[in-house]
Amino acid sequence: MMRLVTNEPVWDLEFDENGRLTTPAVEDFLAQVLAEGVEDLFIFSHGWGTSKGKARELYDEMFPMIQQDANGLAGIGATGFAGIYWPSLWFPPTPATPPPTAAATQADGGAVVDLSAGTAALSGAEIAQSLEPGFADPAQQQMLAEIGQLIDHGEKAVGFNEPERQKEERLQQIHQRLRTLVPRTPEGEVEDAGEGALLFAADPKMAYQAAAEAFGSAPPDSAAQGLGDWFHHAINGAKDTLRVLSYTIMKARAGDIGRTGLGPVLEALHARSPAVRVHLIGHSFGARLVSFALSGISTPEDSPIASLLLLQGAFSHWSFAHAKDNPFGRAGVLNAFTDRVRGPLVATYSVYDWAVGVWYPKASFLAQQDTQAEAAGRWGGMGADGYQAVSPSEDRVMPPDGNTDYRLAPGTFYRVNAAGVINNVQAEPFAGAHSDIRKHPVAVLATHAAAAHA
């Protein structure tokens, strides 16, 4: 346990990929929270591609800001903080083509821009080496390394006059290995399972070319028109498919850790210290982790959760949906667990979040024969437009100065347009402002959500 400079306790909660809390021991954590007299415990989970060092930097910046704004705020007592550390995957940075700004789109009359995720610039070895630390199983690490080698061997073979069957066999070897790494999708999570159409495609020759087109690694319609070297496009598409695999594994892992790890710990905390209010905050795939913690708590009476804040969530915006108005024709996987939150359920979104708003829906591009707009709606993420098909729900706007009274109420879903704050796209050409959350107005939203508990 550490402390802020203002003496509030801070815990590091380290989970392995199977959802086991490895540090500290559960009983030690529960006893310490009780001994510290914590009344409001803020628990924050980092998102994708975040090392322990980067996660600590996030918490070191956000926890003092939250504490500063919570100090003296009605409805919030003695505070404590916990940062979650979990093995997310890191896909190496790519020289993506940034989407045009709204102003630029208007100026050029809405001309189509050929976007590229920049994946083709990476080697298979670079991708494999970057993703490898996210796997604890040596067999999986070896499989990933083999995929990288096969991709690089395939690139070297581009331009050689190989028989078609030999090229297709190269793709089959990649695809067979890649499929062994795909996690099982639990029953009922249909809204977050669109990537399976690519990862389990029967014909990688066509699927990988389509992936290259979707992520801009091949000219649009090049495969259909027979232009260029189809095998070169397919090899680049294999790299894009590895990106999709990393999405899928992070999404599944975050859900597992939330459901089987964090949720039961929170239930045990409530049993030990029923007066403690827990405020869950998650960024990116960490938003999925803290959301799925709700499903790991047996009943509403066993839950200590007083607020839920999802910052640019990288999972389906239909996850909490009721069946009505849901394109999947059924209630979202978390719909039945909203009563585990005794306060407001809040989600930020920003048009400047390219990771979730632009690229994330493309991971499910083979799942349906949708138009681009339909695909974004069906497979879109929380960070693009917030909760969908939920009730009761209201909209809010995050002001740049953070000076507002959000007037949040328990039991209500809030979509918070944070484009005025989460808007710095300079640091990450692929993700845009996806991680631009280390700001005081974000801390203000967290404390206002915490203060609105029932």
- Average pLDDT of 29-46? 98
Task: Say if residue 266 is in the same domain as residue 118.
Answer: no
Give the CATH number for residue 49.
3.40.50
Domain boundary among 196, 219, 248: 248
Rounded CA separation 136/143 (Å): 12
- How high is the mean pLDDT of the chain? 92
Task: Say if residue 207 is in the same domain as residue 328.
Answer: no
pLDDT per residue as tens digits for the range 196-243 = 999 999 999 999 999 999 999 986 555 444 444 899 999 999 999 999
- Cβ 234 vs Cβ 208: under 8 Å: yes
Report the pLDDT value the prediction gives residue 227, as an integer from 0 to 100: 43
At 278, phi and psi to the nearest 5? -105, 135
At 376, phi and psi to the nearest 5? -65, -35
- pLDDT at residue 110 greater than cutoff 60: no
Domain annotation covers residue 74: yes
- pLDDT at residue 322 greater than cutoff 80: yes
Domain annotation covers residue 7: yes
Domain annotation covers residue 240: yes
Task: Say if residue 136 is in the same domain as residue 220.
Answer: yes
Q: What is the bridge-based pairing of β-strands 2-3 and 9-15?
A: antiparallel
Rounded CA separation 377/389 (Å): 12
Among residues 185, 99, 193, 53, the alpha carbon closest in space to that of 434 is found at 99
Task: Say if residue 129 is in the same domain as residue 232.
Answer: yes
Tokens of 16: 């392995």
Flag the least confident range among 144-153, 182-191, 318-327, 432-441.
Answer: 182-191
Task: Say if residue 436 is in the same domain as residue 306.
Answer: yes
Report the pLDDT value the prediction gives residue 370, as an integer from 0 to 100: 55
Rounded CA separation 192/190 (Å): 5
Domain annotation covers residue 94: no
Report the pLDDT value the prediction gives residue 104, as an integer from 0 to 100: 42
pLDDT per residue as tens digits for the range 418-433 = 999 999 999 899 999 9
Rounded CA separation 112/434 (Å): 23
| Apex 68 CA angle, 64 and 70, nearest 5 | 115
Task: Please give the residue range of the domain that contains residue 325.
Answer: 2-89+251-451
Report the pLDDT value the prediction gives residue 113, as an integer from 0 to 100: 59
Rounded CA separation 173/183 (Å): 19
Rounded CA separation 302/83 (Å): 22
Write the CB contacts of 301 (distance below 8 Å, at least 6 apart in sequence): none
Write the CB contacts of 233 (distance below 8 Å, at least 6 apart in sequence): 208, 209, 212, 213, 217, 218, 222, 223
- Cβ 8 vs Cβ 67: under 8 Å: yes
Q: Which residue has the higher pLDDT, 377 or 126?
A: 126
Domain annotation covers residue 355: yes
Task: Say if residue 255 is in the same domain as residue 323.
Answer: yes
- Cβ 101 vs Cβ 426: under 8 Å: no
Domain boundary among 206, 228, 248: 248
Task: Say if residue 292 is in the same domain as residue 309.
Answer: yes
Rounded CA separation 234/204 (Å): 8
- pLDDT at residue 376 greater than cutoff 80: no
Q: Which amino acid is at 361?
A: P
pLDDT per residue as tens digits for the range 323-368 = 999 999 999 999 999 999 999 999 999 999 999 999 999 999 888 6
Task: Say if residue 263 is in the same domain as residue 399.
Answer: yes
Among residues 190, 196, 160, the alpha carbon closest in space to that of 378 is found at 190
Domain annotation covers residue 95: no
Task: Say if residue 56 is in the same domain as residue 168.
Answer: no
Task: Say if residue 385 is in the same domain as residue 441.
Answer: yes
- pLDDT at residue 102 greater than cutoff 70: no
Using pLDDT thresholds of 50, 70 and 90, give the confidence band for residue 98: confident
Domain annotation covers residue 123: yes
Report the pLDDT value the prediction gives residue 58, as an integer from 0 to 100: 97
Confidence (pTM): 0.94
- Cβ 349 vs Cβ 382: under 8 Å: yes
Rounded CA separation 283/435 (Å): 8
Split into its structural domains, the chain has a count of 2
Domain boundary among 248, 273, 295: 248
Task: Say if residue 391 is in the same domain as residue 324.
Answer: yes
Task: Say if residue 183 is in the same domain as residue 262.
Answer: no
Domain annotation covers residue 271: yes
Report the pLDDT value the prediction gives residue 188, as an integer from 0 to 100: 84
